[in-house]
C-alpha cells in the first residue's frame, strides 16, 4: 500500500497538485474494469440485486439497507445494523460516487467495487449468508433471476457469485452525482458559489485539506492516511477514534495501525455522521477535529463556517431512478 | 363486526353474488375517504414516508421493509422482522390493492389505511418508535420534510401524525395491480385464460371459495370469517393455526376467537408464504388446507392444479414507480 507517513509528504503532494490542476469536476462516467464492461442488462440486474433483501440470511437486509440510494447513499446511523439487529463498529460509507474510490471499505481491503460487493453478503453481522453458494442457490430458485442473469451474462452458468458481484458493481458505477455548485463553479459559472463558499474553497486549499482529499471526488490518489495523525486526549476520550486500528485490523502489521482510506467529500453535507466510527454528528465539528488532529490547526469560528459552506457546495445532483421490480420467490420462504 | 358464523351463510352469500355479478374486474382507482382526498403532493410525500427507515427507532425499518413495493408487497418471510431483529407471530399482508380491503391488519383492527399506517410505527417489535410525538419531532428536524409536508398540507401545523398517516394512505391507494389475465378474461378477452385456468375459475365458484373471497379483490364484503372452521388435528400439530386467536386478541371476547379478515387473493401466487402465521409455503398446500378446514372437502390433485392455475391468473400489472429521494437529516443521527 502507498501511504502518506507524514504531514510533510501530504503538503508536498498538495503543492504538486495545485500546480497542475487542483480543482477538477466530477466525471459523469465512471471508469470500468476491462473484465466488466457495463451493459444496460448488467446494470438492471445489478439494481435488482442491490435492492434485494433476499441476499441476506433473514431476508431483511439488502445492500441498500446500509447504503441507501434513496438517501445520501448511507444509513444516517453511527454504525450500520445488519441481520438480527447486529451492529459493527464502523459507519457506512456512501455508495454515491464510490466508483471513483481507488479502494473500497474504510480499511481499503477491497481493490474494486466487484470485490467489495462480495464482502457484506457473507459477513455474519451484516447480511449473514453462510456462503455465496447459498446465495447462488437462492437466486437460482427465483425464476425471474434466471432470466435476468441470462440476459446480463449470456453463456454457460449465468448465475454465479462472479456475475452477481459484477452486476452490482456495474449498477454502482451509475451512482454518480454531478453538477454540484462546486462543479458548476469550476466549469466556469462563477455565480455558482457564494462569497462564503469561495472563501471556504481557498481555505481548504491553504490549510492542506486537499493534500489528502484530492482529485475530482476529493478522495485522494489511492494512498492511505493515518488518522488521527496527532491523537488528542480530550477527543480520544470523547470519540474513541483510536479504538479501531484501521488497515492493521486486516494486515495485522503494526505499521498499518490507524491508517485509513481517504473518504470522498462529495455530498459530505448530507452523509452525517462522520469519521470511520460515525462518532461525530455535525460537519462543523468534523471540520474542527480534522484540522486539529490532522493539520495541527485550531480553526476560528468563521473559518469553520466558510469551510462547511464550501463542503455543502459539493452536494451534487442525484439521478432519478426507477424503482426495480424484484422477481418473486414462489413456494419458499427466505427463513 | 359482521361475521359469517356458518358455512351455510357463506354459501347463501355466494349464491346471491353469482346471481348478480360474481366476477368483477379490479378498479384502477381506489375509493378515497371524504377527509383525505388524494393529491399528487400527498402521494409524493406518502411515498417518501413509506420508504423512509427513519420512521423506526433504529433507522433501519420502513413500511416497505415488511410491505416491499419492489416485491409482491410483503417480505417473503413467515413472520415479519422489525427493529433489532424482533419478530411477531403474523405474516405481512401485501400492500398491493390494500386500498380495496374493508378493514386492515389480519384481525381487522384498523378501519382505514390511515388508521393502519399509525400502528406499526409505534409497535415495539415493528418500528419501535416510543410515540408519534417522537416521530413528528424527527420529521420536523428534516428540512426537506418541512417543505414536502407544507406542499401536501398547506395551512397550520403541516407536520403531524394525522398528516403523515394521511399521506401514507394516499400513496397506498396508488398501489393497484390491474389487468391480470383474469381481468382481461372477465373484460371480454376469452383467450386471456388457459383451459386449466378456466376450469379452476369454475371450481373456485362451485366449491364456495368465493363465498368469502368475493368481490373485485377477492377479499369479501368486510365480514370476518372463522379459520379454521373445522380444526384438523394433523394440520394443527403441523401449522399451529389456532395458537393465534385473531380478532379475539383485540376484542378479548370469546365469540371472536379465530375470526380473521378475509385476505385478498390478488397476486396470491407471488405472496408466499400463506395464512395468518405464514406457516404454509406453497399455494398448492394452502388451497388444499382451505378446502379441507373451511369447506370440508378433500380436493383431487387435478382440482388443486386447476385452482392454483386460476389463482396465478390473479397476478396483475405492477405500476412502474420512481424511486423517491428522501430528504437528508443533517447534523444528527437516528440512533
Residue B117 maps to which CATH number? 1.10.760.10
CB distance A81–B75 less than 8 Å? Answer: no
In a domain, B261, yes or no: yes
Mean pLDDT of A174-178: 98
Q: Are residues A167 and A266 in the same domain?
A: no
- Closest-CA residue in chain A for B329? A270
pLDDT for B323 equals 97
Cα separation, B243 vs B257, whole angstroms:
10
Q: Are residues A306 and A248 in the same domain?
A: yes
User: Could you tell me where the beta strands, DSSP code E, fall in A13-91?
Assistant: none
- Tell me what the pLDDT averaged over chain A comes to: 93
In a domain, B128, yes or no: yes
Pairing of strands B224-226, B259-261: antiparallel
Q: Clarify whether A249 is annotated catalytic.
A: no
pLDDT for B80 equals 95
pLDDT for B12 equals 42
pLDDT for B21 equals 52
Choose, from A41, A74, A114, A126, the residue flagged as catalytic: A126
Q: Are residues B167 and B52 in the same domain?
A: yes
Cα separation, A100 vs A95, whole angstroms:
10
Q: Are residues B139 and B161 in the same domain?
A: yes
Cα separation, B43 vs B22, whole angstroms:
32
Q: Are residues B153 and B64 in the same domain?
A: yes
Residue/partner pairs of A63-67 with CB below 8 Å, 24 or more apart: A63/A95, A63/A117, A63/A120, A63/A168, A65/B53, A65/B60, A66/A92, A66/A120, A66/A126, A67/A92, A67/A93, A67/A94, A67/A95
Q: Which residues of B are catalytic?
A: 126
Residues A241 and A227 sit within 8 Å (Cβ to Cβ): yes
In a domain, A185, yes or no: yes
Per the structure, the complete domain to which residue A233 belongs is given by: 3-27+177-312
Q: Are residues A44 and A57 in the same domain?
A: yes
pLDDT for B14 equals 47
In a domain, A33, yes or no: no
Print pLDDT tens along chain B (335 aa). Answer: 445 444 334 444 444 444 345 799 999 999 999 999 999 999 999 999 999 999 999 999 999 999 999 999 999 999 999 999 999 999 999 999 999 999 999 999 999 999 999 999 999 999 999 999 999 999 999 999 999 999 999 999 999 999 999 999 999 999 999 999 999 999 999 999 999 999 999 999 999 999 999 999 999 988 899 999 999 999 999 999 999 999 999 999 999 999 999 999 999 999 999 999 999 999 999 999 999 999 999 999 999 999 999 999 999 999 999 999 999 988 888 87
User: Could you tell me where the beta strands, DSSP code E, fall in B111-176?
Assistant: none
pLDDT for A13 equals 47
In a domain, A112, yes or no: yes
Q: Are residues B120 and B199 in the same domain?
A: no
pLDDT for A18 equals 43
The C-alpha cell at B178 is: 390491474
**Is residue A113's pLDDT more than 80?**
yes
In a domain, B209, yes or no: yes
Q: Are residues A208 and A227 in the same domain?
A: yes
Q: Which of B85, B271, B334 sits opposite A85 (nearest CB)?
A: B85
Tell whether ipTM is more than 0.95: no
Q: Any chain A CB within 8 A of the CB of B71?
A: yes
In a domain, B154, yes or no: yes
pLDDT for A10 equals 45
Q: Are residues A92 and A140 in the same domain?
A: yes
Cα separation, B23 vs B209, whole angstroms:
13
Domain count, chain A: 2
Report the share of chain A in percent with pLDDT over 70: 94
**Is residue A256's pLDDT more than 50?**
yes
Q: Are residues A70 and A152 in the same domain?
A: yes
Last residue of a domain, one of B172, B190, B212: B172
In a domain, B151, yes or no: yes
Q: Are residues B116 and B167 in the same domain?
A: yes
Q: Are residues A152 and A182 in the same domain?
A: no
Last residue of a domain, one of B126, B153, B172: B172
Q: Mutate which of A76, A286, A288, A334 to disrupt the B interface (most B C-beta within 10 Å)?
A: A76
Last residue of a domain, one of A172, A207, A226: A172
CB distance B324–A70 less than 8 Å? Answer: yes
CB distance A53–B68 less than 8 Å? Answer: yes
CB distance A329–B70 less than 8 Å? Answer: no
Amino acid at each position: 500500500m502507498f501511504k502518506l507517513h507524514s504531514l510533510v509528504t501530504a503538503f508536498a503532494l498538495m503543492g504538486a497538485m495545485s500546480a497542475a490542476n487542483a480543482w477538477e469536476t466530477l466525471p459523469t462516467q465512471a471508469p470500468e474494469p476491462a473484465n466488466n464492461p457495463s451493459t444496460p442488462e448488467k446494470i438492471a440486474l445489478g439494481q435488482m440485486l442491490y435492492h434485494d433483501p433476499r441476499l441476506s440470511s433473514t431476508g431483511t437486509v439488502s445492500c441498500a439497507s446500509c447504503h441507501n440510494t434513496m438517501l445520501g447513499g448511507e444509513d444516517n446511523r453511527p454504525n450500520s445494523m445488519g441481520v438480527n439487529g447486529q451492529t459493527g463498529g464502523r459507519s457506512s460509507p456512501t455508495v454515491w460516487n464510490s466508483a471513483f474510490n481507488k479502494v473500497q471499505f474504510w480499511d481499503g481491503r477491497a481493490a474494486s467495487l466487484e470485490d467489495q460487493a462480495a464482502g457484506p453478503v457473507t459477513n455474519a453481522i451484516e447480511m449473514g449468508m453462510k456462503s455465496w453458494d447459498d446465495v447462488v442457490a437462492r437466486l437460482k430458485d427465483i425464476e425471474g433471476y434466471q432470466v435476468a442473469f441470462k440476459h446480463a451474462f449470456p453463456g454457460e452458468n449465468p448465475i454465479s457469485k462472479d456475475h452477481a458481484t459484477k452486476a452490482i458493481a456495474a449498477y454502482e458505477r451509475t451512482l454518480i452525482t454531478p453538477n454540484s455548485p462546486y462543479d458548476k463553479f469550476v466549469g466556469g459559472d462563477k455565480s455558482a458559489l457564494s462569497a462564503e463558499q469561495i472563501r471556504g474553497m481557498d481555505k481548504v486549499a491553504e490549510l492542506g485539506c486537499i493534500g489528502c482529499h484530492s482529485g475530482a471526488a476529493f478522495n485522494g490518489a489511492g494512498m492511505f492516511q493515518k488518522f488521527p495523525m496527532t491523537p488528542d486526549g480530550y477527543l480520544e476520550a470523547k470519540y474513541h477514534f483510536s479504538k479501531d486500528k484501521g488497515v492493521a485490523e486486516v494486515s495485522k502489521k503494526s505499521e498499518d495501525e490507524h491508517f485509513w482510506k481517504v473518504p470522498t467529500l462529495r455530498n459530505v453535507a448530507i452523509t452525517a455522521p462522520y469519521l470511520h466510527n460515525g462518532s461525530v454528528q455535525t460537519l462543523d465539528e468534523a471540520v474542527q477535529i480534522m484540522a486539529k488532529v490532522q493539520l495541527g490547526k485550531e480553526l476560528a469560528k468563521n473559518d469553520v463556517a466558510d469551510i462547511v459552506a464550501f463542503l455543502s457546495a459539493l452536494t451534487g445532483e442525484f439521478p432519478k431512478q426507477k424503482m426495480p421490480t424484484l422477481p418473486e420467490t414462489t413456494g419458499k420462504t427466505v427463513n
